[in-house]
Amino acid sequence: MYPTNFAYAAPTSLADVIAQMQAAGDDGKLLAGGQSLIPMLKFRLAEPATLIDLGRVQELRGIRVDGNNIVIGAMTPYYQVLNSGEVQSRCPLLIQTIRQVGDPQVRTRGTVGGSLAHADPAGDLPAAAVALGAQLLATGASGNRLYDASNFFQDVMTTALEPSEVLTSVSFPATDSPGTGTAYLKHRHPASGYAVVGVAAIVTVGADGNCQSARIGITGAGSHATRATATEQALAGRPLDAQSVAAACANAASGVDLMGDSYASSDFRAHLVQVLAQRAIMQAAQNARR
Amino acid sequence: MSVSRLFGATVKRREDPRLITGKGMYTDDFKLPGMLHMVILRSPYAHARITSLDVSKAKQLPGVHAVLTGKDLAGKVNPIPTAWLIPNSDLKTPAYPALATDHVRYTGDAVAAVVAETPAIARDARDLIEVNYEPLPVVTETEKALAAGAPQLHDDAPGNQAFHWSFANGDADGAIDTAEVVVRHRFVQQRLIPNAMETRGAVASWQPGADELTLYNTTQNPHIVRFLCSVINNIPENKIRVFARDVGGGFGSKIPFYGGDALTVFASQVTGRPVKWIEDRHENYLATIHGRDQVTDVELAAKRDGTMTGLRVKAYSNMGAYLSTAAPGVPTWLFALIVPGCYTIQDYKCDVWGAFTNTTPTDAYRGAGRPEAAFLIERMTDLLAGELGMDPVDIRRKNFIPADAFPYTSGGTLTYDSGNYQGTLDKALEMANYSGFRQQQQQLRQQGRYQGIGLSTYVEVCGLAPSPAAGAMGFQGGLWEPATIRMLATGKVVVLTGTSPHGQGEETTFAQLVADQLGVAVEDVDVVHGDTGAIPMGWGTYGSRSTAVGGTAIFKATQKVIEKAKKIAAHLLEAAPDDIVFDSGTFHVQGSPDKSKTIQEIALMANLAWNMPEGVEPGLEESSFHDPTNFTYPFGAHICTVEVDPDTGEVKILRYVAVDDVGVVVNPMIVDGQVHGGVAQGIGQALYEHAIYDEAGQLITGSMTDYAVPNMTQIPTVETARTETPCPHNLTGIKGVGETGTIASSQAVVNAVVDALSPLGIKHIDMPLTPERVWKAMQAAKSAGSSSASQPGQPGQ
């Protein structure tokens, strides 16, 4: 478990990060919380010439409220999000999701931006990001660029980020309007704890008790996190009872490029998407009525 | 024997403070001056010819001291021998070289070794070795390997058959032909990875001139390592000292002496420097033995009233690419003899085929053959109960060997020493509230909920055991144990044991046993193990033998110490030895308690030898060499209750009750801990663990992110209780507990899940019962209607 030799850079400002990235070129690799990259280095699955550690860049850390959005610096570790009163009261889906990430050690070191930029197909946070419609701010040599979560995740560990860009912050819309509830449910891999399937649901219940709107994010089942738009549309205006929700979820996996492995086949993942989508929607609706 | 305060008391493990504060001395903690580091290049192919091997670039990397290849080993490092040569079989033992020369046979087969100043340099140099492989066809499954036209692994093992071995008693064929009912089934015991917390490794230090080897090794049996190293590395046995200080678990995987160990020794000889080799976890998964991997076809004959009348088993065992040290004995002797279990089945026949495949070699893994046997008979018992419409409790009671029938000879060979199977079952049923659960189960079924209860009533054979039996079974070793008790002038006690505890807590239990007998404080007793220089001999720790065999040897040695001390006391007290009474550490003259000497006073005099009785030699040190007359036979009843999520197939264990009878117990807390750990591993096999190879022979569960070792959130509270039926043939009454948990548990879980799903007509699901397997079985059963739907095995799905 010994990585290949690499140069190590520890910039302290975003400008310095950009400069280091330019200097390192294609052989540079950004290190955030290291929960994925360090194991890859040890296995020599990643052999960067230069490792650029973002750990000392203070301006990439922190949580602030910007109007109706919670803006989280890319290098903010999970545990700080979990401990944020603002996030707890205004964007509980992040709490519900992050609580199920890894274990206490991972949640202490792992970061919001690291998870999203790494884009592990079985990561938890991408499901919440797509369901919430998060806006991801990236910075490169030529300035800033804003990505919508819905087209940020492109393939297995592949995002829309340019190689010269670093993810700097993520803006998550609050879901604290009356009648809105959220939930994240996941089928944990028994070994890794990653999401075999994870479903994030945001449900707004109308005055008539029916579903006014729903946003569903799916992770684990396919190559990247996606929204279950067919289910979202089928649910709108429908009663939030078991039968209607089940019907709406029949095609929950229709937009997912399903993957299979030795633990769960693509068929089973499709089935789990249906089951967990139903349960997540019912739970989000229940939370909305509280 | 007298049972007083210390024997049978919950004494906290004296090992734990150092282990949980990071002060243990594991193999990787030994750092010798000038020490070099070795890494091993392993084949990325499951089966290939090596067409070229060029290590010149690796040798040129600064900091590299040696690069070893198979050719370098000729005449220097002999192949790894098979140490269990099962008689009455056509056993083939193809060469198992420490480094391959022209042919690799599994992913992980060793090809070269690099020795360098640092582990990182060694690792970099390994990447510079250039190997060209010509891939060959691959076979990973036993029956495919034995089929005509399969890729051949060894020229000297035609058809990949390692052996065909048979065992029979009575007339199983006749019993099955004439039976009123015959239940037939096929079971798959999936392959498992032992997962000791400490991976394997060695630090070898060869002293040129003295021509002596010091070897720090993570092993369960340092004296066997000394012997095998002597044979493999051509070093006289008396020139080797092996240390196994703290060893982080083994579960059977640290019984063998491996090629990596022999290479470390050779690397030290070649470089003249100490050399360390430590596996990383991935290497451990590839290169340390795996366990289980057996397919069985079973036929159980019975009368309509549920009386079992005959049993026939055909077993197909995957030995991997080579025969590991003890491998041939595991699926034969250790499996076959105990298959009839707790039941009065005499007409019994078992055929076992072992096959070479392009996989990591298999060998003993906690329970070693006996979990497979207990699983098989306990699943068959439930299948028979289902066939006859009987309750699983009733069918067991009907067939149990009665408590008054011991000693009982089962299947013509094993003589079960003692038992009361009804006793443990009754206690478990009461704890689990069996009848209450059955009522609740019916009510929940009306609501569409699936809860189930599973029984496992087991007996196992352990306390390995009489050396003549080992010889008769072809085991190339003895199974006796020595013990030495040495009392120092200050009254402190040193205990030398040939067993090699690596998590079982014998530093504590043996100290309890000795302190109890000698009447000294437990703190004054030190247990020395894991040093072949200090301890005369030992056959190691496995087969739940340490306390039953090694502990009994210690007990016998304490009696010799007391006997000698009594002579000295008589002399000092001017009385006849027969008039001396020994009680709680004090010798006194019968009828005159005031005329007394403490054992510490006697120890002082014995060490000074100023005033010894005539004919009594100085010193107070006695040894015993104990060879038991029989195995021991722990037994018990485990009950598991589960609920199955009908939508996802997830199994939730509701309760787990373990009632064991392991004979007399020295330390209840340590025995509970052994049960907890064993049950965790058994639940792991039932629900989570599976070493999976793909078609190309790649281990696709090659890390802990893929291979599910259960963590604490995946294991329920284990509710333990005991009955105590002493072992009648040793002086302590101890039977052993190291393996009961794994032997007892997997089938309790599977029986519970099948019971939960019985309304759907499901009769069996192969382990591990992953959510997908359970869900698919439910889907298949639903589409087949509720008539019958048994899921065949789905290995590798």
The CATH label, of 3.90.1170.50, 3.10.290.10, 1.10.10.10, 3.40.30.10, for the domain at B33-365 is 3.90.1170.50
Closest by Cα among A37, A41, A34 to A5: A41
Q: Are residues A192 and A253 in the same domain?
A: yes
Which DSSP string do the residues of A221-244 spell out, in sequence order?
Answer: SBSS-EE-HHHHHHHTTSB-SHHH
Peptide bond before B194: cis, by omega within 30 degrees of 0?
no
pLDDT one-digit tens code per residue, B725-779 = 999 999 999 999 999 999 999 999 999 999 999 999 999 999 999 999 999 999 9
Summary mean pLDDT of chain B:
96
**pLDDT at residue B343 is higher than 50:** yes
Partner-chain residue, chosen from B704, B707, B772, that has the shortest CB–CB distance to A265: B772
Q: Supply the pLDDT for residue B4.
A: 55
User: Looking at CA atoms only, how far is residue B706 from chain A in angstroms?
Assistant: 6
What is the mean predicted confidence (pLDDT) over A181-204?
98
User: Looking at CA atoms only, how far is residue A182 from chain B in angstroms?
Assistant: 22
CB contact under 8 A, A262 and B796: yes
Using a CB-CB cut-off of 8 Å, the residues of chain A touching B700 are: 262
Partner-chain residue, chosen from A1, A194, A275, that has the shortest CB–CB distance to B280: A1
Closest by Cα among B620, B544, B549 to B587: B620
User: Looking at CA atoms only, how far is residue A283 from chain B in angstroms?
Assistant: 16
Phi/psi at A84 (5° precision): -85, 120
User: Is the minimum CB–CB distance between B152 and chain A shorter than 8 Å?
Assistant: no
User: Looking at CA atoms only, how far is residue B63 from chain A in angstroms?
Assistant: 15
Model confidence at B97, in pLDDT bands (50, 70, 90)?
Answer: very high
* Domain termination residue (choose one: A173, A204, A238): A173
CB contact under 8 A, A263 and B700: no
Using a CB-CB cut-off of 8 Å, the residues of chain B touching A194 are: 705
CB contact under 8 A, B705 and A187: no
- Best mutation target among B282, B651, B705, B713 (most A Cβ atoms within 10 Å) is B705
Partner-chain residue, chosen from A263, A271, A275, that has the shortest CB–CB distance to B770: A263
Q: Supply the pLDDT for residue A289.
A: 87
- Best mutation target among B41, B706, B769 (most A Cβ atoms within 10 Å) is B706
**pLDDT at residue B790 is higher than 70:** no
Phi/psi at A131 (5° precision): -65, -40
d(CA B514, CA B536): 19
pLDDT one-digit tens code per residue, B369-381 = 999 999 999 999 9
- Best mutation target among B28, B128, B644, B647 (most A Cβ atoms within 10 Å) is B647
CB contact under 8 A, B714 and A264: no
Q: Are residues A79 and A34 in the same domain?
A: no
* Domain termination residue (choose one: A142, A173, A204): A173
pLDDT one-digit tens code per residue, A123-149 = 999 999 999 999 999 999 999 999 999
Q: Are residues A161 and A214 in the same domain?
A: no
CB contact under 8 A, A191 and B775: no
Using a CB-CB cut-off of 8 Å, the residues of chain B touching A271 are: 775
Beta-strand relationship, B308-320 and B348-356: parallel
Closest by Cα among B602, B585, B586, B605 to B594: B586
d(CA A107, CA B597): 64
Q: B309 and B301 in contact (C-beta within 8 Å)?
A: yes
Q: Supply the pLDDT for residue B5.
A: 79
Split into its structural domains, chain A has a count of 3
Tell me whether residue A72 is in a domain: yes
Q: Are residues A148 and A214 in the same domain?
A: no
Q: B363 and B330 in contact (C-beta within 8 Å)?
A: yes
**pLDDT at residue B116 is higher than 60:** yes
User: Looking at CA atoms only, how far is residue A271 from chain B in angstroms?
Assistant: 8
Q: How far is CA B736 from CA A7, A185, B248, B393, B514, in A?
A: 55, 44, 20, 26, 18
For chain B, the domains span 16-20+480-626, 33-365, 400-462+630-783
Tell me whether residue A25 is in a domain: yes
CB contact under 8 A, A2 and B692: no
Tell me whether residue A2 is in a domain: no
Q: Are residues A137 and A200 in the same domain?
A: no
What is the mean predicted confidence (pLDDT) over B53-81?
98
Pick the residue from chain A with its C-alpha nearest to B687: A190
User: Is the minimum CB–CB distance between B282 and chain A shorter than 8 Å?
Assistant: yes
**pLDDT at residue A255 is higher than 50:** yes
Model confidence at B1, in pLDDT bands (50, 70, 90)?
Answer: very low
Tell me whether residue A155 is in a domain: yes
- Best mutation target among B117, B127, B279, B648 (most A Cβ atoms within 10 Å) is B648
Summary mean pLDDT of chain A:
97
User: Left if phi > 0, otherwise alpha if psi is -120 to 50, otherwise beta: which for A233?
Assistant: alpha
Using a CB-CB cut-off of 8 Å, the residues of chain B touching A272 are: 648
The CATH label, of 3.30.365.10, 2.60.120.10, 3.30.200.20, 3.50.50.60, for the domain at B400-462+630-783 is 3.30.365.10
Q: How far is CA B291 from CA A89, B166, B285, B691, in A?
A: 51, 21, 11, 9
Pick the residue from chain B with its C-alpha nearest to A194: B705
CB contact under 8 A, A191 and B123: no
Which tokens in the block code for residue B400?
């149990």
User: Looking at CA atoms only, how far is residue B774 from chain A in angstroms?
Assistant: 11
**pLDDT at residue B796 is higher than 60:** no
* Interface residue ranges in chain A relative to chain B, Cβ cutoff 8 Å: 1-2, 4-5, 43-44, 187, 189-192, 194, 262-265, 268, 271-272, 275
CB contact under 8 A, B714 and A190: yes
Global model pTM greater than 0.80: yes
The verdict on ipTM greater than 0.90 is yes
Model confidence at B789, in pLDDT bands (50, 70, 90)?
Answer: very low
Q: Are residues A282 and A237 in the same domain?
A: yes
pLDDT one-digit tens code per residue, B623-681 = 999 999 999 999 999 999 999 999 999 999 999 999 999 999 999 999 999 999 999 99
Q: Residues of chain B with pLDDT > 90: what percent?
A: 97
Q: Are residues A206 and A140 in the same domain?
A: no
CB contact under 8 A, A264 and B688: no
Tell me whether residue A95 is in a domain: yes
d(CA A98, CA A79): 8
Q: Are residues A159 and A65 in the same domain?
A: yes
User: Is the minimum CB–CB distance between B181 and chain A shorter than 8 Å?
Assistant: no
> Which residues constitute the domain of residue A38?
7-52
Q: Are residues A80 and A162 in the same domain?
A: yes
Q: Are residues A201 and A133 in the same domain?
A: no
* Domain termination residue (choose one: A119, A153, A173): A173
CB contact under 8 A, B796 and A268: no
Q: B376 and B298 in contact (C-beta within 8 Å)?
A: yes
Pick the residue from chain A with its C-alpha nearest to B123: A2
User: Looking at CA atoms only, how far is residue A15 from chain B in angstroms?
Assistant: 33
User: What is the distance of C-alpha B690 from the center of its chain?
Assistant: 18
Buried b (16+ CB within 10 A) or exposed e, A90-120: bbbbbbbbbebbbeeebbebbbbbbbbbbbb
Q: Supply the pLDDT for residue B797.
A: 34
CB contact under 8 A, A268 and B772: yes
pLDDT one-digit tens code per residue, B186-216 = 999 999 999 999 999 999 999 999 999 999 9
CB contact under 8 A, B771 and A268: yes
Q: Are residues A107 and A13 in the same domain?
A: no
Count the residues in chain A.
290
- Best mutation target among B28, B124, B712, B772 (most A Cβ atoms within 10 Å) is B772
d(CA B124, CA B697): 26
Tell me whether residue A132 is in a domain: yes
User: Looking at CA atoms only, how far is residue B296 from chain A in angstroms?
Assistant: 23
Using a CB-CB cut-off of 8 Å, the residues of chain B touching A195 are: none
CB contact under 8 A, A262 and B692: yes
User: Is the minimum CB–CB distance between B120 and chain A shorter than 8 Å?
Assistant: yes
Q: Residues of chain B with pLDDT > 70: what percent?
A: 98
Q: How far is CA A31 from CA A39, A47, B601, B709, B742, in A?
A: 12, 13, 67, 29, 43
Using a CB-CB cut-off of 8 Å, the residues of chain A touching B123 are: 2
The yes-or-no answer to whether B16-20+480-626 and B33-365 have a common fold is: no
CATH number of the domain bearing residue A188: 3.30.390.50
pLDDT one-digit tens code per residue, A1-44 = 789 999 999 999 999 999 999 999 999 999 999 999 999 999 99
Tell me whether residue A1 is in a domain: no
Pick the residue from chain A with its C-alpha nearest to B797: A262
Tell me whether residue A26 is in a domain: yes
CATH architecture of B16-20+480-626: 2-Layer Sandwich (3.30)
Residue type, B315: A
Q: Are residues A158 and A138 in the same domain?
A: yes
CATH number of the domain bearing residue A156: 3.30.465.10
Partner-chain residue, chosen from A4, A191, A275, that has the shortest CB–CB distance to B707: A191
